[in-house]
Amino acid sequence: RAIARHEVREIEQRHTMDGPRQDVALDEEEDMVIIYNRVPKTASTSFTNIAYDLCAKNKYHVLHINTTKNNPVMSLQDQVRFVKNITSWKEMKPGFYHGHVSYLDFAKFGVKKKPIYINVIRDPIERLVSYYYFLRFGDDYRPGLRRRKQGDKKTFDECVAEGGSDCAPEKLWLQIPFFCGHSSECWNVGSRWAMDQAKYNLINEYFLVGVTEELEDFIMLLEAALPRFFRGATELYRTGKKSHLRKTTEKKLPTKQTIAKLQQSDIWKMENEFYEFALEQFQFIRAHAVREKDGDLYILAQNFFYEKIYPKSN
């Protein structure tokens, strides 16, 4: 925290030396803020690495939202602080914020210009399996870090067979509450209201939601739509090393019997319904933005124009 405060002071001092930026209205492109409230184990580190690699070249700031014990629900007072920071911290604009925080509705706080929300989700069982082994063996991103369940050699299949808590169907309930937000009902496992709210937010409050299985297409769409942040992202993902670094070690794929047992749960059915809903929406957006040629996808050029402009200029 001390290092972070020092870095912030350095940046603010640098901007002060450059001129009184806080008194100058930013143009629309410079006033942009993106929030990526990343769901754990959805390739979020791979995607975030791209933002870090591009921020100097594309001239924006990247800030990690680090909550105590990775708690995705903020206190009411922290919500106020967070909204105030995001909207008024001109020294950090344009800004890309990322962290394991559930959706927060800025409109509730009287904000006129809301940030742009993006996210990525994953097949719920695959996400849980990845997280299960991550807690035990870590990954190749920070191999020396000791994880919470390190030393536990039990496989995911064995955990499900024994009815263990770390692989219980209730652990699948994560992507819905992340999109639902900070209401208490969002975190009531199996709440139909929470799923409906998560769907509503995905459609109405998120600029784009991709899926882990089609991450490159998600990045391609972002680069086409928001080049101020993502110019060069697709090529970097294809050729760079960092985007492919983080892989959970010692992961063993579950058997068909294990998957079938989890799929009997109403919780899985709801999380899977939400995932399928997000996937369908993403594929719909992609279908209207790209075309395929010789096995490769390419972004469509502008497909609208203006005519019959009156009154006529002399």
Per-residue model confidence as pLDDT tens digits over 258-284: 999 999 999 999 999 999 999 999 999
- Among 229, 200, 217, 205, smallest CA distance to 116 is for 205
Is pLDDT above 60 for 248?
A: no
pLDDT score for 17: 56
Is pLDDT above 50 for 218?
A: yes
Is pLDDT above 90 for 82?
A: yes
Q: How far apart are CA 138 and CA 155, in angstroms?
A: 14
Q: How far apart are CA 313 and CA 94, in angstroms?
A: 37
> Quick check: is 15 catalytic?
no
pLDDT score for 293: 83
Contact yes or no for 103/180 (Cβ under 8 A):
yes
Q: Transcribe the chain into DSSP letters.
A: -HHHHHHHHHHHHHHHHH--GGGSPPPTTTT-EEEE-PPTTSSHHHHHHHHHHHHHHHT-EEEE---GGG-SS--HHHHHHHHHHHHH-GGG-SEEEE-S-----GGGGT-SSPPEEEEEE--HHHHHHHHHHHHHH-BSSSTTSPPTTTT----HHHHHHHT-STTSGGGGTTHHHHHH-SSGGGGSTT-HHHHHHHHHHHHHTEEEEEEGGGHHHHHHHHHHH-HHHHTTHHHHHHH-SGGGT--BTT--PPPHHHHHHHTTSHHHHHHHHHHHHHHHHHHHHHHTTEEEETTEEEEPPP-------SSPP-
pLDDT in tens, 161-189: 999 999 999 999 999 999 999 999 999 99
pLDDT score for 149: 60
Bridge partners of residue 210, in order along the sequence: 120
pLDDT in tens, 289-312: 998 887 788 899 999 999 999 998
Q: How far apart are CA 188 and CA 202, in angstroms?
A: 19
pLDDT in tens, 103-123: 999 999 999 899 999 999 999
Of the residues 6, 15, 61, 100, which is catalytic? 100
Q: What is the mean pLDDT of the chain?
A: 89
The CA radius of gyration of the chain, in Å to the nearest whole number, is: 21
Contact yes or no for 141/246 (Cβ under 8 A):
yes
pLDDT score for 135: 87
Q: How far apart are CA 208 and CA 282, in angstroms?
A: 8
pLDDT in tens, 9-59: 666 666 655 554 445 567 888 999 999 999 999 999 999 999 999 999 999
Q: How far apart are CA 222 and CA 216, in angstroms?
A: 10
Q: Which two tokens stand for residue 304?
A: 């609208």
124, burial (CB in 10 Å: exposed 0-12, middle 13-18, buried 19+): buried
The answer to whether the predicted template modeling score (pTM) of the entire model surpasses 0.85 is yes
CA-CA distances (angstroms) from residue 249 to 32, 42, 133, 154, 172?
A: 37, 15, 7, 14, 21
> Quick check: is 64 catalytic?
no
pLDDT score for 297: 81
Of the residues 6, 61, 64, 98, which is catalytic? 98
